[in-house]
Chain A
Amino acid sequence: MSDEPKGDGVAQAEAPPPSAPPTNSSADTPPRSIDWGSLVPQTAGEIVSDALKIFVFALIIMNAWAVWHGCDVTTRIMVAGTLAGLATTVAWKTFLAAAEAFGTRVVGVAYLVGGIAACAAVLWYARAGESVTTTGQLKAVIQVLGVACLYPAFLGGLAIARGEETPDVNPLGFPLTPRWFGTLWTLYAKEMWTFFTSPLPYLIAFVFLFVNGWFFHLLVNYYTRPGMGDLPKPGEILFMNLYTIFVLWFIWPGLTMRLVAEERSKGTLETLLTVPVTDAQVIFAKFGAAMSFFALMLLPILGYIGFMAQYAKDWDWGPVYASFFGLFLWGGLAISIGLFFSTLTDNQLVAFILAAGTNFMMFVLSQVEQSMKEDTALVGGVVHLKPLAHYLSIHVHYADFLKGIVSTQSLAFFLGFTALGIFGSVRGLEAQRWK
């Protein structure tokens, strides 16, 4: 029946479950060698897809690295992170190719063992610290390998736990054909339509604009009193006031809680996921629609800025652009996390509380970080808490943007965690299928 060489071999290469007789094995025999050619991207779509994989992995790894070392994303971390991203992508593709040949579980065990061993090596070097006379380059290489093995190890563990016969589908790989984008656009248009035809997003936008407008009113009142001097930095006024931030903690989850949870509770997820669309398309469309709505919500702030630019002395547009950009990035991070929580449950309220709680925890972290002692550490002095908390504190990164600084480390932080959130959402949606 199947004229496709892929797949069918895998099912039979598997140690068969006790009850399944080894039937119809005459047609195809499992290919016992790895098809190395499949590692090299062939079409333009595959090349873009692989480049994206490397990029996303690199971002995630850079972040993990910075967190681990308790420092900012330095040039060295960026280089090493990119290398690790490349290595991870290769490891992943090798995993898929090997799983085709030898069965997911067998290869899964190998990767799990390899991954754990490599991670142990990383840990050992981190513990040894400066006392070991190893060159920095060698350490870096080993760390790259260690990190690269983490995801396949995770895949292997997953395969063993589920007892799947087929290799995991590639959640980030997509063909990038016109048809693919056409379907994405259809999904996106539908999500946007839902945003503009439901009452809740309007209510949310109203609250946001009202709070902002009220705050702007107070601000103008305050600074136009005689003897108050010039207006302070515009970015800090409009974007760093606690009112705006506080409201946004609840606005982001409000926008995202419905996205998947509602479809699941109404059962429409079943009709949605049984048409020829990939899980990634669904997530991208939902994420894009929420981002678009958020961006539209920010637009009226331009009015206040125009007003201030009119009356302020020494007006500097740089911080304004940067602040807008920063808030947009922060929104992307919060929306991807909210979307992730929405894929985990069919209860919108639960999704809302989890997402809002996460936002609140991030705020608490940034407050705690300021009062933390320099040498607070865990795991025998390996993990330094203060720099860790400093790196994870969104407010620290966001403050850069307010000053008009767009630093690579903040970019890496926001984009990396956003990628992680979207990746988690795709995985979360996929996990829904198993329930």
Chain B
Amino acid sequence: MLSVRELRKRYGDLVALDGVSFDVEKGDILGFLGQNGAGKSTTMKIVTGFTPPTSGTAIVDGFDVTKQSLEARARIGYLPEQTPLYTDMRVREYLDFRARLKGVQRRDVKKRVDYAIEKLKLVDRARQIIGTLSKGYKQRVGIADAIVGDPKLLILDEPTIGLDPNQVREVRQLIKELGEQHTIVFSTHILNEVELVCSKVVIIDRGRSVLQGTIKNIVEQHQGNTLRCSLRAKEATLDEVQSALAQVAGVKSARELAEGSGSEIVQFMIEVDAETDREAAVRAAAERVAARVLEKGWAIRELVPERTTLENVFVNLTMRETPAAPQLVGAGDGAQGGN
């Protein structure tokens, strides 16, 4: 549906995009993640044909956005950031105008506008002037505009920004619903949103795509090989516990995390030596650690493998000084396997 290859965009000396590549299959809901200023909006502007890229290609349903721009644009419904609207028009007038511009057949215009108005629950606001609507309703008009041409691909740039929590929830629900009929790409920097709504994510950092795949795969791929262990060791000193844990076969290191409530309880992060089969290695190490602790006569309070979340992955990738290029390959493979 959408295939983006090595997009680069320079504004004078400023490099906004430095190699963004990703694919969106038909029916996907793709979360487009990145910090503010990472290049999310620029990528979307290029994909929708508003701005030409300095180099690279974006192909929408077989049409190149720079060379066959009109055909590509006819297949896209776009909600820009900040939701620009003609504030002096009425909702229905505006949608009617937009439907005609998007090439909806004249006899279908009313049907499409009615559909969009109903879908976005704008029925009782249809005659209101857009400028007098609240932010949430304006956002709905923007989304109604995006779907009124019945596009194959919906591109929504930060659709939930500036909305109150209830409205955010509504918009998310709506995106899920729309995902049944359209392929959707939407950008955000709220990670929670992505986990709730999307099937796939692309993470970009400083103008590069650093990761893409399904959420499940990405999280699994980035699962650490650490165990969190909290235990009660009555007479032992911290050093004793630490060296005991570090000596367990397969354990690389043990690091005290924090003192638990009451001086008896201590927490350790145990890093496991896992070269090949991470999952099995971690489990085996957990068994051995438990055995050692019991052998010493201490009590285990907790012994769990540390779970990575999408948020951890995102922070790890985007906080790094240099963008991690090799990750792209690994995660991409994982994503394809998962599908």
B145 touches A186 (CB 8 A): no
Q: How far is the CA of A273 from the CA of B70 in the complex (A)?
A: 10
Determine whether the beta carbon of A1 is less than 8 Å from that of B3: yes
Contact with A along B17-59 (1 / 0, CB 8 A): 0010000000000000000000000000100111110110101
Q: Say yes or no: is B85 at the interface (Cβ < 8 Å to chain A).
A: yes
Of A4, A164, A198, which one neighbours B88 at CB under 8 angstroms? A198
- Write out the residue numbers on chain A whose beta carbons fall within 8 Å of the beta carbon of B19: 19
The listed residue with most B CB atoms (<10 A of its CB), out of A1, A8, A17, A435, is A1
Residue of A nearest to B57 (CB): A11
Stretch at the interface among A262-270, A397-405, A417-425: A262-270
Separation of A169 and B49 alpha carbons in the complex (Å): 13
**Smallest Cβ-Cβ distance to B84: which chain A residue:** A267
CA distance A276 to B67 in the complex (A): 13
Q: Is the CB–CB distance between A270 and B101 below 8 Å?
A: no
CB of A278 closer than 8 Å to a CB of B = yes
Contacting pair A194 B88 (CB below 8 A): yes
Inside 8 A of B68's CB, which chain A residues have their CB? 4, 7
A221: interface (CB < 8 Å): no
Q: How far is the CA of A165 from the CA of B78 in the complex (A)?
A: 26
> Bound state CA distance, A274 and B146, in angstroms?
11
Are A197 and B59 in contact, with the CB atoms below 8 A? Answer: no
In the bound assembly, the distance between CA atoms of A275 and B101 in angstroms comes to 7
Note all chain B residues with C-beta closer than 8 A to A11: 57
Query: Interface digits, B49-90 against A, CB 8 Å rule (1 contact, 0 not)?
Result: 111101101010010101111110110101010101111110
Neighbouring A residues of B82 by C-beta, 8 Å: 267
Q: How near does chain B come to A367, taking the closest CB pair, in angstroms?
A: 41
For residue A190, CB closer than 8 A to chain B, the reply is yes
Question: How would residues 275 to 304 of chain A score, 1 for a CB under 8 Å from any chain B CB and 0 otherwise?
Answer: 111100000000000000000000000000
Once A1-B59, A197-B88 are accepted as A-B contacts, the answer to whether A276 and B73 lie under 8 Å apart by CB is yes
| A409: interface (CB < 8 Å) | no
The answer on a CB contact under 8 Å between B84 and A17 is: no
Q: Is the CB of A270 within 8 A of B80?
A: yes
Give the total of B residues in contact with A, Cβ under 8 Å: 43
Complex Cα distance, B101 from A182, in Å, reads 9
**What residues of chain B lie closer than 8 Å to A164, measured between beta carbons?**
52
Please report the C-alpha to C-alpha distance between residue A158 and residue B127 in the assembled complex, in whole angstroms. 47
By a CB distance below 8 angstroms, the chain B residues around A7 are: 64, 67-68
Q: Check: B102 CB closer than 8 A to any chain A CB.
A: yes
A2 interface residue, CB < 8 Å from B? yes
Are A277 and B80 in touch, CB under 8 angstroms?
Answer: no
Cβ-defined partner of A276 (8 Å) among B87, B88, B102? B102
Query: Closest Cβ of chain B: how far from A6's Cβ, in Å?
Result: 7
Contact of A275 with B80 in the complex, beta carbons under 8 Å: no
Q: Cβ of B220 < 8 Å from any Cβ of A?
A: no
The CA of A278 and the CA of B69, in the complex, are separated in Å by 9
The verdict on B98 contacting chain A, using a C-beta distance below 8 Å, is: yes
Pick the residue among A17, A186, A187, A435 that contacts B55 (CB under 8 A).
Answer: A17
Interface size of A by CB at 8 A reads: 41
Complex interface bits, B141-156 against A, C-beta within 8 A gives 1, otherwise 0 = 0000100010000000
- C-alpha spacing A314/B66, complex, angstroms: 63
Specify which of B54, B62, B80, B87 is in contact with A163 (CB 8 Å cutoff): B54
Q: A270-B84, A271-B145 are in contact. Are A183 and B103 (CB under 8 A)?
A: yes
| A433 interface residue (CB < 8 Å to B) | yes
A187 contacts which chain B residues (CB < 8 A)?
101
Closest residue on chain A to residue B18 by CB atoms:
A19
| Cβ contact of B98, chosen from A4, A266, A275, cutoff 8 A | A275
Q: Does A36 contact B (CB under 8 A)?
A: no
Tell whether, in the assembled complex, residue B102 and residue A275 are in contact, meaning their CB atoms are under 8 Å apart: yes
Task: Pick the most buried of B52, B97, B149: most chain A CB atoms within 10 A of its CB.
Answer: B52
Q: Is the CB of B100 within 8 A of A271?
A: no
- In the complex, which residue of chain A has the Cβ closest to the Cβ of B76? A274
* Contact assessment for A277 and B101 in the assembled complex, using a CB-CB cutoff below 8 Å: yes
- Closest partner residue, chain A, to B52 (CB atom): A433
Docked CA distance A275–B100 (Å): 10
Contact status of A2 and B102, CB under 8 A, knowing A190-B97, A278-B70:
no
Q: Check: A20 CB closer than 8 A to any chain B CB.
A: yes
Contact residue among A166, A274, A433 (Cβ-Cβ distance under 8 Å from B78)? A274
Q: When A163-B54, A186-B101 are in contact, do A1 and B145 touch as well, CB less than 8 Å? A: no
Inter-chain contact B59/A274, CB cutoff 8 Å: no
Quick one: closest A residue to B71, CB to CB? A276
Docked pose: A190 CA to B19 CA in angstroms: 39
B88 contacts which chain A residues (CB < 8 A)? 194, 197-198
Instruction: State whether A20 and B64 are in contact (beta carbons under 8 Å apart), knowing that A186-B100, A275-B102, A276-B102 are contacts in the complex.
Output: no
Cα distance, A164 to B64, chains bound together (Å):
15
Which residues of B232-285 are within 8 A (CB) of A?
A: none
* A274 and B62 within 8 A (CB): no
What are the residues of chain A within 8 A of B74 when measuring CB–CB? Answer: 276
With both beta carbons as reference points, the residue of chain B lying nearest to A14 in the complex is identified as: B55
Query: How distant is the Cα of A276 from the Cα of B73 in the complex, in angstroms?
Result: 5
Cα separation A434 to B45 with both chains bound (whole Å)? 11
Q: Which 6 A-B pairs have the closest CB atoms?
A: A267-B84, A7-B67, A276-B74, A186-B100, A274-B48, A276-B70
**7 A-B contacts, Cβ less than 8 Å apart?**
A20-B6, A163-B54, A183-B103, A271-B80, A276-B70, A276-B103, A277-B70
10 further contact pairs, Cβ within 8 A, besides A198-B88, A266-B87: A4-B64, A166-B66, A270-B80, A271-B84, A274-B73, A275-B73, A275-B101, A276-B73, A276-B101, A435-B11
- Seen from chain B, the residues whose Cβ lies within 8 Å of a Cβ on chain A are 3, 6, 11, 19, 45, 48-52, 54-55, 57, 59, 62, 64, 66-71, 73-74, 76, 78, 80, 82, 84-89, 97-98, 100-103, 106, 145, 149
